[in-house]
Structure 1
């Protein structure tokens, strides 16, 4: 990837690659509701939804005051950080991925908290719509 990508975007790329190995599809910068933007949302082969927040530095993590609001939007929650990140800062009751621009590894599985069926339906539809619009924008930028 070129230099114009931010460190968090490079982590997101590696996370998306890793998730595909589990049969997931993923979108970056997904907004489940007004005011929230999830770095990576993964949709699994059994309909599970994972939320992954990419943090490129201690300052990036410490300035994030909204992360607990993301917990209710997925079945599992993960942090994705690089190898140099001080992982002892991250809450122990969340998932952890070590990532770079080429891939990732799950170091700690996030605890599962199943979404209510109605929220899952809404999020899955929103995920599909968002992904389709992004694909269409690539295929037809004039649209």
Structure 2
């Protein structure tokens, strides 16, 4: 690990570090991810993952018991994905997590699926909307990285 990665890690919150490990794992499974994605007004998921066949998974990263207990919106995320997962670290009390959801255990470098989430396929129209939103979001973020002044012109 180089000096730059230590600086980046120091500036990230525990949930962001966990999300990074989740995204790394998902990449090994052929998915692409966006962190802090808004599927609908008032909702913000930690990670949305898009698979090669158009499957959409939502992964909520919980860095502590308190973080989990204050999350009141998670059930609203179910209608925006084919599979829903919790991602937590090794010390998290997983018996708190609701049944009928998936589980990943991870850290800032990797994650592993411990329990596959049940599948609940999205309607084709909703899938199209989310995939378009995913593409637009990804393109905007890439453009902002390449041209930080782009917002001034648009």
Structure 2, unmatched stretches of 5+, are 1-7
Does 1:135 find its partner at 2:139?
no
1:86 to 90, 93, 99: 93
The C-alpha deviation readout for 1:8-62, integer Å capped at 9, x for no partner, is 0001000000000111000000000100000000000110000000000000000
Does 1:44 find its partner at 2:51?
yes
TM-score (norm 1): 0.99
Matched position secondary structure for 1:8? helix
The whole-number CA distance in structure 2 between the counterparts of 1:4 and 1:21 is 25
Q: Larger % of helix: which?
A: 2
The whole-number CA distance in structure 2 between the counterparts of 1:140 and 1:131 is 14
Structure 1 residue 117: deviation in Å? 0.2
TM-score (norm 2): 0.92
Matched position secondary structure for 2:113? strand
1:99 alignment partner in structure 2: 106
Structure 1 residue 71: deviation in Å? 0.5
Does 1:26 find its partner at 2:33?
yes
2:16 alignment partner in structure 1: 9
The whole-number CA distance in structure 1 between the counterparts of 2:104 and 2:27 is 14
Structure 1 residue 2: deviation in Å? 2.4
User: Deviating runs (4+, > 2 A) in structure 1?
Assistant: none
Larger Rg: 2
Matched position secondary structure for 2:87? strand
The whole-number CA distance in structure 1 between the counterparts of 2:9 and 2:17 is 10
Q: Is the 8 A contact 2:9 2:17 kept in 1?
A: no
What is the root-mean-square deviation of aligned Cα atoms in Å?
A: 0.6
Structure 1 residue 92: deviation in Å? 2.0
